[in-house]
Amino acid sequence: MISDNTDIGAAFDRIEESVQREYEEVAWEMTADLMTSLSVQVEYIGGYVIRSKPGEAPRREFGDLIRSVDFATSRVNALVRLDVFSTSMISVYLNEGTDRIAPRPHWQPLIDNWRDQLLPRTASAVANVS
């Protein structure tokens, strides 16, 4: 609990630090989930390589997409931000699809899986500030 004589700026700093630490844990977990979904190996059927089917997350063939996944947290003006991203444009092409490739969504399923967890974890991080 924050006492009445505590500097309000310091109190907000502790809250932001707590939320940022929690977001870093969430980012590690989200990144692991995404890497797991991208780790399904390609299939070999006869002489054909099945990389992924429309609607599936891209399958792993060389590991470039998995290696491109990263995250960052930041604090600016009392806003704590969490970004999980890929540094590869291939991620965008596969996720959204192109004229020649049907979408292989991998970002929206990740967001859908984590959407309901972020608010309670943020609230818990705030509540645990002393």
The percent of residues above 90 in pLDDT, for the chain, comes to: 64
> Can you give the pLDDT at residue 5?
52
Grouping H, G, I as helix, E, B as strand and the rest as coil, residue 86 is strand
Mean of all residue pLDDT scores within the chain: 89
Residue 52: pLDDT band with limits 50, 70, 90: confident
Show Cβ contacts of residue 70 under 8 Å, excluding neighbours closer than 6 positions: 31, 84, 85, 86, 87
User: What is residue 78's predicted lDDT score, i.e. its pLDDT?
Assistant: 79
As a whole number, mean pLDDT of residues 54-73 equals 90
Under a CB-based contact definition with an 8 Å cutoff, are residues 15 and 126 in contact? yes
127 C-beta neighbours (distance < 10 Å), count: 9
Residue 20 tokens, joined: 């940022």
Q: Which structure tokens are listed for 100?
A: 């020649």
Each residue's pLDDT tens digit, 4-51: 556 888 888 899 999 999 999 999 999 999 999 999 888 899 989 888
DSSP E strand stretches across the chain: 43-45, 48-50, 69-76, 79-86
Which residues are registered as beta bridge partners of 80? Answer: 75
